[in-house]
Chains A and B, each alone.
Chain A
Amino acid sequence: MSLSGLLSVLKILFIGGIQQLFNKLTGKKSPPSAAGLTILCPIINGSCGQKSYAMQTRQYLQDMPLHEESPMAKVPNTYLCRFYVLNDVFYEGAPAVEEHLNSKYIVFSSNYYGDLDTYLTGMWEHAQEEVQKIWQHAVTFDRVQNAADFVAYIKRCQVNNSLFFNGSTGEPLEEQLKNLYLKQEFSRFVYEHQGLKPEELQCAFKAFIARTQPKNMSAPTWIAGAHKEIVKDS
């Protein structure tokens, strides 16, 4: 193996993870699945009035509507995500060294389905207004003018995950929501149709299938982010 090849292996091993190396050696290509995006976006040091830009950013994030009203509910294929402002790092006490960050960071961690470019483009297209408000005080974000700029900006702020653990199913969100809707509706059906004669049961089941349309992923189904049962009918 050449020196550059060896360096490439070491880079993959320690920066991209051993899984990538394994996939590369075996030629295995991962199918679309759940993925984790982790980004740290520096906030401009400074203030407007009596509030620092970091404080304004935190205030905006905290005031964003929750659940189905959250702007992230509009972003396709977002399973779970969070924002926080990292003010500084922690001092663990002597004999550790006390140190501080020179910038504060917007930390955005998203668990989503599919490839990153599609996901981020969807984020820009479906929640552009909120995206621009969240990142309005981030360093160089004023240069972001369109979806392509946003994708490039986020990638500059991205840090590699050393380990991503998927404890869920890895299906597209639309399928997960449809399956949850079906689970809920079928559970009710079972409770409500006990002790029927075979003909009555079969008739009721056919009506249930006609109503719930198990193979139609788009409707009826649960609304993304809903904190109580809200069914989308069409």
Chain B
Amino acid sequence: MSNIAGKSYAMNVVTPAKWYLTWLNKLFFGFVQLPGGAAYLKGLLTLSLIHYARWAIVSPKQFPHLDPSQPKETIKYSYMFFFSNFNGSWAQYVDSFHTAIPGGLDLFWTKNVKYPKSVPLQPFHAYITYNQVWTNHYYNAYPLASSNDVKNAQHLSGKLRAFNDVHSNDDPQDFQQAYNALLLEVQGAISIMEPTPIISLSAQAVEERLSHESEVNSA
């Protein structure tokens, strides 16, 4: 069991909301997807530490019922499922959100039962901790890369391919001049990606256990 795969952390939060009020959440989620409402997501983009995140609101009737042998759900609340894939530790992530987009968080979780609001920090920490579910298996296609690495790689590779198409057969002096200009343009994307440092005691425990298992298996 681990919420961590390389540089990514998987957060799962499940919170109840009165079913007849979740239209407010859905309205806000819909609004921020419109061109004019995208400004509300600017904080998420600015944070730049998220690969992907999502919210899914599931009403009592929307819990899948596949067969008469399966008991029907009798719950009254709707439940909001939140999933995030982000870089860094739990505390860094929650604190960044609390600091950068407290208003947006309050709108996303508006009317959820006993949501304490994102400010002050400690009740918000307690709310997320209490409602978090641990991941049983987490897979990341690029454990060495942060979200910014993926975006920088796209930027750098595009420029590199274009540079090669245009300048590879230039006169050597012109080539070097163009090469230096390329470096200036992509300097923010030039860095070596390496395995992430251990960011929590639990992550360290997982690493140690896997290392031990590997040694036992190879012995």
Chain A residues with a Cβ under 8 A of chain B? 13-14, 17-19, 21-22, 34, 36, 38-42, 44-45, 58, 61-62, 64, 66-67, 70, 72-73, 78-86, 89-90, 92-93, 96-97, 99-103, 105, 107, 109, 111, 139-140, 156-157, 159-169, 171, 173, 175-180, 182-184, 186-188, 190, 197-199, 201-202, 205-206, 209, 214-215, 222, 224-229
Please tell me which one of the listed residues A17, A41, A80, A103 contacts residue B141 in the complex, with CB atoms under 8 A apart.
Answer: A80
A-contacting residues of B (Cβ < 8 Å)? 1-2, 5-6, 8, 10, 12, 14-16, 23, 25-27, 29-34, 41, 44-45, 48-58, 62-67, 69-77, 79, 81, 83, 85, 108, 113-114, 130-131, 133-145, 147, 149-154, 156-157, 160-161, 164, 168, 170, 172-173, 175-176, 179, 183, 189-193, 195, 210
Q: Which of B14, B26, B27, B62 has the most CB of A within 10 A?
A: B26
4 further interface pairs, Cβ-Cβ under 8 Å (given A40-B63, A80-B52, A176-B150): A84-B133, A156-B66, A178-B157, A227-B144
One of A64, A79, A179 near B153 (C-beta < 8 A): A179
Which one, A66, A101, A162, contacts B210 given CB within 8 A? A66
Q: Are A80 and B139 in contact (CB under 8 A)?
A: yes
In the complex, what residues of A have CB within 8 A of residue B74's CB?
A: 99, 102
- A-B pairs, top 9 by smallest CB distance, nearest first, are A18-B30, A198-B172, A179-B153, A61-B136, A167-B50, A163-B29, A72-B139, A183-B153, A102-B71
B113 touches A92 (CB 8 A): yes
Task: Name B69's contact: one of A70, A111, A139, A205 (CB within 8 Å).
Answer: A139
A-chain residues with CB within 8 Å of residue B55 when the two chains form the complex:
161-163
